[in-house]
A and B are shown apart, each in its own frame.
Chain A
Amino acid sequence: MWHILKQIVKNGLRTEPAPQGNDDWRVERAEPERIRAELLAILGRALTIRLVDAGSCNGCELELNALTNPYYNIEGLGIKFVASPRHADMLMVTGPVSRHMVVALQRTWQAMPAPKLVVAVGDCGCTGGLFGESYASCGKVANVIPVDVAIPGCPPPPLDLLRGILTAIRSRK
């Protein structure tokens, strides 16, 4: 302890004074801040999302998980994945909707409070993808519940997912 204190006293304060501002360097408000402000203006709160995999190949889940890594820092933007549909403003749905998932998907959607934004994720969610409609698959998400925004891609990379989420928010302006 003594050594630590001695070291601190010996070194003193090294922090340099903050530089003066430079008006030439002013840029638009940083994107994250703008997104946060927009969420607050439209929803009046942070955005909560519930994900339902309605039959995906799990590729889309990989990218949704990637969206929560430090590079994208969505929680810093005020966007959060939640466990209960009752806490969710938005439902993201991946996969073609398998016939076995229809009831679970509908119930999740019913359990959500308004505004019940729905984002279909990936080529499968948009159109049914390679799987289409069959004895086992209902095809695109819009065949089962109303969809606000559909994000193409197989799977859509994290930035596209983020763009899709923001597009859905703005659609409720």
Chain B
Amino acid sequence: MPLVALDCRFETLPGPLPMQRATVTREQWRAAPAAVAEVGGRLVSLWGSDRRGLDGGFAVSAAYALAEGLAWLSLPIADAAQPSYPDIARAFPAAGRMQRACRDLLGLVAEDAVDQRPWLRHGAWPEDYFPLRREHGGLESFAATPESYPFVRVEGDGVHEIAVGPVHAGIIEPGHFRFAVVGERVLRLEQHLGYTHKGIEKLFESTAPLDGHRLAGRVSGDSTVAYAWAYCMALESIAACRISPRASWLRALLLERERVANHLGDLGALGNDAALGFGLAQFSRLKEDWLRLNRELFGHRFMMDRVVPGGVDVDLDAAGGEGIRRQCDAIEAEVRTLKEIYEGHGGLQDRFLTTGRVSPQLAGQLGLCGMAGRASGEASDLRMDFPWVPYDELQATMASHRNGDVAARVTVRFEEIFESLRLIREIVARLPQGTPLVALNPLPANGIGAGWIEGWRGDVLVTMELEAGAIRRCHCHDPSWQNWPLLEHAVMDNIVPDFPLINKSFNLSYSGQDL
């Protein structure tokens, strides 16, 4: 590990992906961002935990992605009365909102952080109530004291504000967008999220470890397979349980089907947002066919609760495999035709090209990740970077572009559909024999584990700590945390009517980041 420069002792977390954890000192915590940035690493997540009663006060954790794998650094905070830790948002701006959330939920303060405004707390609970602290059960309820959020004001000749949300015009999740515009041109966008915060991380504390995959699978419904897999991976890593090869292959089958379903839906919506209703009709029909086969073979259109601790609770017979193969062929032919139509459609290309651009330089600086990152030159995808079973045998190729505009994200989505269809056919053809579900080893009373999965939007991380057989802390990280701030940049200098199009090209999760 290049982090060896920090001279901290890493402990390997058992699991299919390389993941290590170390307890660090304040100096090491402070030095880590520069050391990580120097070797081209990125911040995956930042979160806090209440460790009073275990080994002292609180702790703040940061997970970094390095070429060697995931490095999880945990900094103990002894001062339980005024817990604080050194800010890392100057080096990794994506940490900013996570640090603010960490304060809202636990009362841990990032010292000297530039932005100290609340993020997930809007006034539904008091400023001095920190739900993730051990003394609170989480069932308390308070009279709401609505607080007005101090948006950054843009002033100047002809500048006016457009406030949108939390209720948006379509069938989408809630959030608030504050545009500062001159005429049609967007000068600045500021987001205010947290509206769907429903206390998921607190709920984990009262959830049985063997049931938690259901809750994790509802952090962001469109990524239910990715979350359930990451959760199960964390649990299996604590239990030192090896799932069967067949289970891993079936999990990958579900994960790739989830990826295709989301890309199909979004490609249709992108056509529609650029006034090509035909695209929506065509792609939504394909997506419906796709979901119906999920339902037929796996009993659920979105495959919720199919990935379970110890494996999967579905199986695939020869007839099912044949059905999948035939569907992949049919969908591939249709998507190729539609791709040609999209690419040859002047009006559509006019809207897609150069719209909502995130340059590779900005993407690197601010840590754009996942599918959107790959459209802006950030070549990272866990399936290729750390190919675990079955990706180690599938040799998936990464879609990667540099233009960073809506058109590039559309191209990446098309390419990922074709690659996932290929992977799905491979998986079905080479599915190993065996049982899809093994009994989990008895869980040790105490343990620490992590699961890391490339969902359709980007990498999902679940970290877990068990104490006395119960979940002490389970943190779920959505890639939307990193990408929402980039959306603010992507719309600058575009016209207001292009915002829905740009937004859809990312299609970030509100629920996933609100928790």
Contact = CB atoms under 8 A, between A and B. Distances in A.
Interface in B106-132: 122, 124-125, 129, 131
B146 A103 contact: yes
Given A57-B218, A57-B511, A58-B510, A102 B144 contact: yes
B288 A101 contact: no
Given A62-B302, A135-B139, A100 B196 contact: yes
A53 B196 contact: yes
B160 interface: no
B170 A100 contact: no
Nearest to B262: A62
Given A65-B171, A101-B174, A136-B131, A56 B196 contact: yes
A61 B196 contact: no
Contacts of B124: 98-100, 102, 135-136
A66 B195 contact: no
A83 B172 CA distance: 11
B197 A61 contact: no
A58 B220 contact: yes
B284 interface: yes
A135 B129 contact: yes
Contact of B221 (A55, A56, A100, A131): A56
Contacts of A137: 198-199
A104 B173 CA distance: 13
Nearest to B282: A70
B171 A64 contact: yes
A134 B218 contact: no
Interface in A38-53: 51-53
Interface string B18-56: 000000000000000000000000000000000000000
Contacts of A98: 124, 195-198, 514
Given A53-B173, A69-B288, A99-B124, A59 B221 contact: yes
B140 interface: yes
B144 A99 contact: yes
B195 A104 contact: yes
Contacts of B220: 57-58
Contact of A100 (B136, B197, B288, B295): B197
Contacts of A65: 171, 265, 284
Residue with the greatest number of chain A CB neighbours at <10 A, chosen from B139, B218, B301: B218
Contacts of A132: 203
Contacts of A64: 171
Contacts of A70: 281, 284-285
Interface of B: 122, 124-125, 129, 131, 136, 138-142, 144, 146, 166-167, 169-174, 194-200, 202-203, 214-215, 218-222, 224, 265, 281, 284-285, 287-288, 291, 295, 301-302, 304, 509-511, 514
Interface of A: 51-66, 68-71, 81, 83, 95-96, 98-104, 108, 129-137, 154-155, 157
Please give me the 7 A-B residue pairs with the lowest Cβ-Cβ distance, nearest first.
A59-B221, A99-B124, A136-B199, A69-B284, A83-B169, A57-B221, A57-B218
